A and B are shown apart, each in its own frame.
Chain A
Amino acid sequence: QSALTQPASVSGSPGQSITISCTGTSSDVGGYNYVSWYQQHPGKAPKLMIYDVSIRPSGVSNRFSGSKSGNTASLTISGLQAEDEADYYCSSYTSSSTLLFGGGTKLTVL
């Protein structure tokens, strides 16, 4: 199975909002509300930011939000801060009872 499709990079200035898309198929993203998002800083382990499409774990800033429409899920970060600069990965459960990650998106805060 191919990875979910994410843009390779996005950028924004401090205070702005950005959105990262994650496109799959009806067999994964479109078929289940089991999309999650992870943030990874260089040399560090990933951190869960969103699960079940739009639920924020305790301790994650409310500047992070998730949504889904059809086969595409999205992560929006509002009020961009320098510390948000990182790689972001989406993941989805699939009809094959497996988990698929996106290729990752590098967020640059200008």
Chain B
Amino acid sequence: EVQLLESGGGLVQPGGSLRLSCAASGFTFSNYAMSWVRQAPGKGLEWVSTISGSGGSIYYADSVKGRFTISRDNSKNTLYLQMNSLRAEDTAVYYCAKSGSYYGSGDIYFDYWGQGTLVTVSS
């Protein structure tokens, strides 16, 4: 059974940093691209970033480019999102999502999702 368990969310002040983790199990982690998708309170889904199975290809939404860094450790079956220079508009539930393919671009769809971790940016 595929399981994705996010952690690391919490309250942080504007300009601060936070690192999210997503522990994966139930599938061969290195064979699939992984992504972060966020949802602000009461709002729709917003794609944040995707990393290919090997970690060699990485893509970001313009809204987070230069501030967020996605990475993965295939030996630990874990996905990360380092978030710096956080803003109030980054407040959201952050979902870890498994892609249906190895590559980080093109046929990107999410066949499994974690339950999400809430990040609140406020002073």
Chain A interface residues (CB < 8 Å from chain B): 1, 3, 32, 34, 36, 38, 40, 45-48, 51-52, 57, 89, 91, 93, 97-104
Contact = CB atoms under 8 A, between A and B. Distances in A.
26 contacts: A1-B62, A32-B106, A34-B107, A34-B108, A36-B110, A38-B45, A40-B45, A45-B113, A45-B114, A46-B37, A46-B110, A48-B109, A48-B110, A52-B107, A57-B111, A89-B45, A93-B105, A93-B108, A98-B47, A98-B60, A99-B47, A99-B108, A100-B47, A101-B46, A101-B47, A103-B44
Contacts of A1: 62
A101 B44 contact: yes
Interface string B26-51: 00000000010100000011110010
Contacts of A51: 100, 107, 109, 111
Contacts, number: 64
A51 B36 CA distance: 18
A51 B112 CA distance: 13
Contacts of A102: 44
B115 interface: yes
Nearest to B112: A48
Contacts of B116: 45
Contacts of A48: 109-111
B61 interface: yes
